[in-house]
Amino acid sequence: MKLTNYHHIFLKKVSHLFYSKTISNLILISDEDNDLIDNVRFFELEFSDVVGFYINGSNPLISINRIDEFDDFNLYASYSTLSENKEREFLPFKVGFIKVFFHPEYNEVISIFLSSSDFSLSVSIVFSTDEIYTHMNCNKDDLAKMVKEDLVQFEDIDFLTCQIDSSTGNWACI
């Protein structure tokens, strides 16, 4: 399958935001009732910057602003109070490998896998229509299976996958 302009731009954005940077924490957002907002995830980078994802449809929106600095996702329109909660069990790692899963027929990102070069630490982000799943320290050989377990509607689909690693520093589609 040939990559579209959407694929190229998304891959460029993901590599610019994450490749060779340290993910220092996973930040979950809670509302005024202390309930997890399950369609938003933020990743703290280099112990200060953030990259946030919001899903409500087929593709995630991306922000580099904390919610209290600039509410790119317009969350305060639905919630009166928002709180950042860092994942206590998250171990920081420098991203040396990225794998992105796309739908083979549509310009739709399904999942992003971010890992250290030696695959000892990782986080997988799976985008449902209105929910984001995160999995820590996954086996890279089981990623497609894990995505299909989270998103049963893709059970019989072969994803378009692209990856970048420290050996080449370039995106390759497999």
Amino acid at residue number 130: D
Token pair belonging to 168 = 């080449």
Indicate if the pLDDT at residue 113 is higher than 90. Answer: yes
- How many distinct structural domains can be found in the chain? 1
Tell me, letter by letter, the H, E, C secondary structure of the chain: CCCCHHHHHHHHHHHHHHCCCEEEEEEEEECCCCCECCCEEEEEECCCEEEEEECCCCCCEEECCCCCCCCCCCHHHCCCCCEEEECCCCCCEECCEEEEEECCCCCCEEEEEEECCCCCCEEEEEECCCCEEEEECCCHHHHHHHHHHHCHHHCCCCCEEEEEECCCCCCEEC
**pLDDT grade for 1, boundaries at 50, 70 and 90:** low
- pLDDT tens figures, 33-84: 999 999 999 999 998 999 999 999 989 999 999 999 999 999 999 999 999 9
pLDDT at residue 2, as a whole number: 83
pLDDT at residue 56, as a whole number: 93
The whole-model pTM stands at 0.95
pLDDT at residue 166, as a whole number: 83
Range of the domain at 20: 5-173
pLDDT at residue 47, as a whole number: 85
- pLDDT tens figures, 130-165: 999 999 999 888 999 999 999 989 888 999 999 999
